[in-house]
Amino acid sequence: MVRTVLEKRLGVSRKLMSRLKLTEQGLTLNGKRVFTNERVKQGDCLAVRMEQEQSDDILPEPMPLDIVYEDRELLIVNKLPGIIVHPTHGHYTGTLANGVVHHWLERGETVRFRPVHRLDEETSGLVAIAKNPYIHQQLSEQMQAGEIDKRYRAFVYKSPDPAYGTVDAPIDRNPEEPHLRVVIPGGYASVTHYETEAVYRSGGAAKIKLKLETGRTHQIRVHMKHIGCPLIGDKLYGYASSSRSSGGSAELEAAVERQALHAATLGFTHPMTHKYMEFEAALPQDLQQLEKLLLAGPRVK
């Protein structure tokens, strides 16, 4: 049956299938509109068409975009630090969504903004944006199954001990400050893998690689604080949030105006071609400058 082909061969969710039923010419078999209980046989041509969508609630706004990859189904953007991904209360313009919607209008595309994942405002790096609900569903399922490879670079205080390992510590809202997250018994399962790349200033700072198994809010920032290596420049979870920012740390806080975190690698299987794709984004200029400052001091390999 049509339903079996959609579920088993294409992985279409029930929610999306319901939308296809209501879409004009959403499902056709050999050129004729059908329902999901229609029988199919070898040689039949089953076509799936999704209605065109656009983000009417997002104002198009010209914005420089570092587009790493784009095709008919998805867009990969290297987000600058200081840019919010999606409009929120009080931030209706100046977001990545505003710039992307403008970009699509310039290309003559009618597309709804559907980020597969998000980055904090001050985190730079790769963001995947789906151009239709099927691609969004497929990539979201890959993410939930841990099949999307997200790797980060970060600069932290101190040097992790051991130099590489896994932080498996549950995260939830801080009961006393709900806008913050904290490692807490009974929280949501959260797993972060890390590896030290370089140690600077006799162990006073380090550059690390990180890979996420889960995607909790502020996960890297919370886990690094949990092991005693908060991110340089982190105003919520680092030295920048306390009076401990003094001496060498004060120098580093002044050198970077945001948490030193960059989404450097993004890998996934393209839902249409079924080919594995991997993208890289080099460290942005501000983190390159921070690294030069760290290298200028005593360094331990």
Residue 283 has pLDDT above 90, yes or no: yes
The H-or-E segment that residue 133 falls in is helix 133-144
Residue 27 has pLDDT above 80, yes or no: no
Q: What pLDDT is recorded for position 8?
A: 65
Catalytic site residue from 56, 57, 66, 120: 120
For CATH 3.30.2350.10, the residue range(s) in the chain are: 52-145, 150-263+289-300
Rounded distance, CA 209 to CA 207, Å? 7
The residues, ordered by sequence, that sit 6+ positions from 45 with a Cβ below 8 Å of its Cβ are 29, 30, 31
The H-or-E segment that residue 225 falls in is helix 219-226
Tracing tokens 């730079």 back to the chain, one arrives at: 124
Rounded distance, CA 149 to CA 278, Å? 8
Question: For residue 73, which of 131, 127, 5 has the smallest C-alpha distance?
Answer: 131
Residue 33 has pLDDT above 80, yes or no: no
80 vs 239, residue with greater confidence? 80
**Per residue in 74-128, pLDDT tens?**
999 999 999 999 988 878 899 999 999 999 999 999 899 999 998 999 999 999 9
Rounded distance, CA 270 to CA 74, Å? 9
Q: What pLDDT is recorded for position 253?
A: 86
Q: What pLDDT is recorded for position 21?
A: 63
The residues, ordered by sequence, that sit 6+ positions from 244 with a Cβ below 8 Å of its Cβ are none
Residue 264 has pLDDT above 50, yes or no: yes
Rounded distance, CA 60 to CA 210, Å? 34
**Per residue in 172-217, pLDDT tens?**
999 999 999 999 999 999 999 999 999 998 889 999 999 998 889 9
The H-or-E segment that residue 299 falls in is strand 299-300
Query: Mean of the pLDDT values across residues 274-286?
Result: 96
Q: What is the CATH number of domain 52-145?
A: 3.30.2350.10
Helix 285-296 and helix 248-255: axis angle, to 10°? 160
Tracing tokens 């890390």 back to the chain, one arrives at: 194
Q: What pLDDT is recorded for position 300?
A: 42
Given pLDDT bands bounded at 50, 70 and 90, which one contains residue 298?
A: low
Given pLDDT bands bounded at 50, 70 and 90, which one contains residue 242?
A: low
The residues, ordered by sequence, that sit 6+ positions from 148 with a Cβ below 8 Å of its Cβ are 117, 139, 142, 266, 267, 268
**Per residue in 39-69, pLDDT tens?**
777 877 877 776 667 677 899 999 999 999 9
Of all residues in the chain, the percent with pLDDT exceeding 70 is 87
286 a catalytic residue: no
Question: Across all residues in the chain, what is the average pLDDT?
Answer: 88
Residue 301 has pLDDT above 70, yes or no: no
Lowest mean pLDDT among 43-52, 160-169, 175-184, 269-278: 43-52
- Contact 104/111 with Cβ under 8 angstroms? yes
**Alpha-carbon distances of 79 from 15, 149, 167, 206, 218, rounded to whole Å:** 30, 17, 26, 24, 17
Q: What pLDDT is recorded for position 187?
A: 96
**Alpha-carbon distances of 182 from 53, 61, 185, 195, 216, rounded to whole Å:** 38, 36, 10, 22, 11
Query: Mean of the pLDDT values across residues 22-26?
Result: 67
Of all residues in the chain, the percent with pLDDT exceeding 90 is 65
Q: What pLDDT is recorded for position 247?
A: 47
Q: What is the CATH number of domain 150-263+289-300?
A: 3.30.2350.10
Residue 29 has pLDDT above 80, yes or no: no
